Amino acid sequence: MNEVYTHRLTNDLIKKIVQEDLKYFALFNKISNDTILRLISYLAVKKPGTTSKSALAQSLNLNIRTVNNILNALE
């Protein structure tokens, strides 16, 4: 597999998880798929350990509770 194909498959898998699997968590009724994908994209470009939950919330203009809920569900 080439890098572009692998990247496309990874993105498709992430979108599937966000669009289909996370809807079963009641707390995500009010959180849009776009918000979750923005959070994942933000984390994807950061080096591990270089950002805090509060910095993530501030950068994406989200409530810290929303960030915590998303991260907990993704674990």
CATH of the domain at 35: 1.10.10
Query: Total domain count for the chain?
Result: 1
Give me the domain span that covers residue 54.
3-74
Taking the complete model, does pTM exceed 0.95, yes or no?
no
Q: What is the pLDDT along the chain (75 residues), one digit of tens a residue?
A: 688 888 788 878 777 777 777 666 656 666 777 888 889 888 888 888 888 999 999 999 999 998 998 888 878
DSSP one-letter code for 28: G
Cα–Cα distances in angstroms (integers) from residue 36 to residues 30, 46, 52, 56, in the given order: 11, 16, 17, 12
Separation of alpha carbons 11 and 27, rounded Å: 23
| 3-state secondary structure (DSSP) of residue 62 | coil
How long, in residues, is the chain? Answer: 75
